[in-house]
Structure 1
Amino acid sequence: MPDSDSSVDVYEYILDKIDAVPHLEAVILLWNSRPVAWLPEELASRLYLSKEKATEILNDLARQQLVQQVASSPAKYSYLPRNEEQDEWMYKVDVAYRRELVRISTMLHSKTPSSVREFARAFRIKKDREP
Structure 2
Amino acid sequence: MSGEIPDDIREFIRRYISSVSLLEVLLLMKRDSTKAWRAEDISSEMRTNVSYASSQLAELAAAKLIVNNGEGYEFPAHSKQMDILNRLEELYANRRSSVIGFIYSQPIDSIRDFANAFKIKKD
User: Would you call these one fold, judging by a TM-score over 0.5?
Assistant: yes
Distance (Å, rounded) in 1 between the aligned partners of 2:92 and 2:60 = 17
Q: Is the 8 A contact 2:5 2:99 kept in 1?
A: no
SS in 1 for 2:107: coil
Cα distance, 1:20 vs. partner?
0.9
Q: 2:121 matched to which residue of 1?
A: none
Q: Is the 8 A contact 1:10 1:89 kept in 2?
A: yes
Size of the aligned set, in residue pairs, is: 107
TM-score (norm. length: structure 2): 0.76
Aligned mate of 1:89, from 84, 89, 92: 84
- Gaps of at least 5 residues in structure 1 are 117-131
Q: Percent identity?
A: 21
Cα distance, 1:8 vs. partner?
3.4
Which 10-residue stretch deviates more, 37-46 or 49-58? 37-46
4+ residue runs over 2 A deviation: 5-9, 80-83
Q: 1:36 matched to which residue of 2?
A: 35
Q: 2:25 matched to which residue of 1?
A: 26
SS in 1 for 2:89: helix
Distance (Å, rounded) in 1 between the aligned partners of 2:46 and 2:101 = 18
Cα distance, 1:6 vs. partner?
7.6
Q: Is the 8 A contact 1:7 1:96 kept in 2?
A: no
TM-score (norm. length: structure 1): 0.71
AA aligned opposite 2:28: L
User: 1:6/1:109 Cα in 2 relative to 1: closer, same or farther (>3 Å)?
Assistant: closer
Q: Is the 8 A contact 1:26 1:43 kept in 2?
A: yes
Aligned mate of 1:77, from 68, 73, 80: 73
Q: 1:125 matched to which residue of 2?
A: none
Q: Which has the higher contact order (CA 8 A, sep 6+)?
A: 2
SS in 2 for 1:112: helix
Q: Is the 8 A contact 1:10 1:96 kept in 2?
A: no
Distance (Å, rounded) in 2 between the aligned partners of 1:41 and 1:98 = 25
Q: Is the 8 A contact 2:43 2:53 kept in 1?
A: yes
Q: Is the 8 A contact 2:34 2:74 kept in 1?
A: yes
